[in-house]
Amino acid sequence: MSKLKAVIVEDEEASRVTLNNYLTKYCSEVEILDMADSVQTGLTAIKKHNPDVVFLDIEMPYGNAFDLLESLDEIEFEIIFVTAYRDYAIKALNLSAAYYILKPIDIDELVSAVDKIVKSKKEGDENFHTKILMENIKSNAIQHKKIVLPQMDGFEVVNVNDIIRAEANDNYTNFYLTNGKTFLVSKTLKHFDDLLTDFDFIRTHKSHLVNLQYITKYIKGKGGQVRMSDDSYVDVSATRKKELLERFK
């Protein structure tokens, strides 16, 4: 496989130089063609070089990474987002399983992200995560938001609104959907708890995360249980009972 043609878009000079040096030293699969310091110069560099991968800072003066991406007719490259912030953007990136690294850049994380891009190129999954990310950003309606569920042999893309509940299974998570399908996903329940709280999901128990809109009955007890729309019963722990009942007031 030929080298990945790359462009760096980063407004801070020290960060550009550091990233360039790390890629040159530790990622032999990558060839840096250009570096840019803003949304506008980034667009120019991308259109000029037609890169395979763009290392893209999220927050920049006079715009951000998503402004840049929305200015393109087609996104024909993979993206590794670079950010110093553990904010709303991280949830959006995780929802679509997009590639990102946090500042200050950890070399192992950088190498891992590049390796994932190389693997996706070989398997023909190019740009998929970015396309899901942009769909989510453009959609304000919860029912249209999508989530990428990684599995051992690939991934499933489902509408967030189609998830009834999720259940911990050691370091994996079982997902139960409105169409009766179930998926074993190779991430912990905590990962999805962090992602889905903004979408009317609630942790009723250390092992259970449920979609509030699909609760059909609450059964009293020390913690109690909830019956879901698929006729499954989910335990509610005593420590989480109050929060659950508050959500129904």
Q: Provide the CA 223 distance to its chain's centre, in angstroms.
A: 32
The pLDDT assigned to 97 comes to 81
pLDDT tens sequence for the chain (249 residues)? 689 999 999 999 999 999 999 999 999 999 999 999 999 999 999 999 999 999 999 988 888 898 999 999 888 899 999 988 766 678 888 888 889 999 999 999 999 999 989 888 877 766 677 888 888 877 766 667 899 998 887 889 999 999 999 999 999 999 999 999 999 999 999 999 989 988 999 999 999 999 999 999 999 999 999 999 999 999 999 999 999 999 987
Q: Spell out the domains of the chain, with CATH numbers in brackets.
A: 4-136 (3.40.50.2300), 143-247 (2.40.50.1020)
pTM of whole model > 0.85? no
CB atoms near residue 239 (< 10 Å): 10
The pLDDT assigned to 90 comes to 82
8, 49, 32, 29: which is closest to 121 by C-alpha? 29
For residue range 27-84, list pLDDT tens digits in order: 999 999 999 999 999 999 999 999 999 999 998 888 889 899 999 988 889 999 998 8
The pLDDT assigned to 202 comes to 96
Q: Which residue has the tokens 């130089």?
A: 17
Count Cβ atoms within 10 A of the Cβ of residue 166 and give its class: 0-12 exposed, 13-18 middle, 19 or more buried: buried
Is residue 63 within 8 Å of 38, Cβ to Cβ? yes
Query: Nearest 5°: CA angle at 85, between 26 and 186?
Result: 70
Is residue 210 within 8 Å of 228, Cβ to Cβ? yes
Helices (H), 75-186: 88-95, 107-123, 128-138
The pLDDT assigned to 96 comes to 86
